[in-house]
Amino acid sequence: MPDIRPTVGSGALVLNATYEPLCVVSVRRAAILVLSAKAVCVADGEGILHSARNALPVPSVVRLTRFVRVPYRTHVGLSRRAIFARDGWRCAYCRGPAETIDHVFPRSRGGRHAWENVVAACARCNHTKGDKTPAELGWRLHSPPSAPKGIAWRVLGHRAPDPRWVDWLDLRESEAA
Ligand SMILES: [Zn+2]
């Protein structure tokens, strides 16, 4: 999970009754869950939310009071942002800042548009590479591309995690994966 830039008040992490991370919702939605006793707040964010009758701390992590059974997405959608996030916004060939998406085995030669064949690349490497393969240029990939795995990806996708969510998402584990 390369994207650890802190975000301010963008959302709240929802945990199942079993403390398993489920999804990210707006802070407003999380507050409604808490006010309607469908969830309890387990970690506060910054600030106070005011409604007509209530004031409560901005929720950062909430836990549902009743267990819900959720069918999981088993794979992460292949999007430009998700590819950049997986590769840490670094070029797969020179490690410089990435601006483009490259198909390792070129599409023009039948390369697939799939996690295993796409990498973030800088414009210069992408241009130089053209419709050649890394082997033909004597280039080496920093690491073989693969579909992102782990609970953090399932819950967050390309979203930057709030630092307060780290304990619940086991980000350190998924970094090593
Ligand atoms: Zn490059």
Q: Tell me the CA–centroid distance for residue 98 and ligand 1, in Å.
A: 7
Domains observed in the chain: 11-72+151-168 (no CATH), 80-137 (1.10.30.50)
Q: Using CA atoms, how far apart are residues 90 and 29, in angstroms rounded to an integer?
A: 34
3-state secondary structure of 143: coil
Q: Tell me the CA–centroid distance for residue 33 and ligand 1, in Å.
A: 46
The pLDDT assigned to 172 comes to 53
The pLDDT assigned to 164 comes to 85
Residue pair 111/117 in contact (Cβ under 8 Å)? The answer is yes
User: Pairing mode, if any, of strands 21-25 and 12-15?
Assistant: antiparallel
> Cα-flanking dihedrals φ and ψ of residue 157, to 5°?
60, -130
Q: Tell me the CA–centroid distance for residue 171 and ligand 1, in Å.
A: 27
Residue pair 102/132 in contact (Cβ under 8 Å)? The answer is no
Average per-residue pLDDT in the chain?
84
Q: Tell me the CA–centroid distance for residue 102 and ligand 1, in Å.
A: 10
| C-alpha count within 13 angstroms, C-beta hemisphere, residue 104 | 22
Q: Tell me the CA–centroid distance for residue 12 and ligand 1, in Å.
A: 36
Name the pLDDT band for 8 (thresholds 50, 70, 90).
very low
The pLDDT assigned to 168 comes to 81
The pLDDT assigned to 72 comes to 64
3-state secondary structure of 22: strand
Strand stretches in 55-123, DSSP E: 55-64, 100-103, 118-121
3-state secondary structure of 55: strand
pLDDT digits (tens, 9 = 90+) for 19-40: 888 888 988 899 999 999 999 9
Q: Tell me the CA–centroid distance for residue 91 and ligand 1, in Å.
A: 5
Q: What is the pTM of this model?
A: 0.62
pLDDT digits (tens, 9 = 90+) for 139-171: 988 788 998 877 777 788 777 778 888 888 865
Residue pair 16/176 in contact (Cβ under 8 Å)? The answer is no
Q: Please give the C-alpha separations between residue 9 and each of 24, 62, 102, in angstroms, as whole numbers.
A: 12, 14, 34
Q: Which two tokens stand for residue 15?
A: 């945990």
pLDDT digits (tens, 9 = 90+) for 39-92: 999 999 888 887 777 788 889 999 999 998 876 666 677 889 889 988 989 999
